[in-house]
Structure 1
Amino acid sequence: MARKKRTSLPQPSKQRFFSFETPNEKWVTDITYLMFSGQKLYNSVMKDLYNNEIVAYQISRRNDLKLVMGTLKKQRKNGMM
């Protein structure tokens, strides 16, 4: 049985530079969990890449769509959408 020739994959860049002209042009989100008094709490955060400002966040006991949509609704309430 012949072995397939191995090809090398491009190495990911360690430094990535993003620049944006105006606020609210590009957002990123992240969800992480925190242990608090023996229970998991999920923190959903939305960040503006223009100035790295946290523009909305929400904490929940469940990591679900409701958590993400709640974060987005908070962003909309702030008038930035």
Structure 2
Amino acid sequence: MRTLLLSLFCLLTLGAQANPVDGLLERIDHGASRKIKTELVKQDHDFFEITTKGGKPCIKGNTWVNIASGLKNAVFALYFTQNPDTTLWQ
């Protein structure tokens, strides 16, 4: 019984540390959450920031929604940089 409770506690602790943007990254590409760092930063104003850290892209923001917006902007910037003749509207 003690082992079962300890296992359940460890599982709940690991689940609490997961963030929704990592789940989004995994849905986009398996293993992507290990390739892109995300950091939740306490700030009074809304923001996201795209930088590199340790050779990996790093998206910081004050909410998970802002970090997801930063991810969208990073993907668009990368796509349109690699495909300059593409337009969103024709």
Q: TM-score range by the shorter chain?
A: 0.3 to 0.5
**Structure whose residues are more often helix by fraction:** 2
TM-score of the aligned structures, taking structure 1 as reference length: 0.35
TM-score of the aligned structures, taking structure 2 as reference length: 0.32
Structure number with larger C-alpha Rg: 1
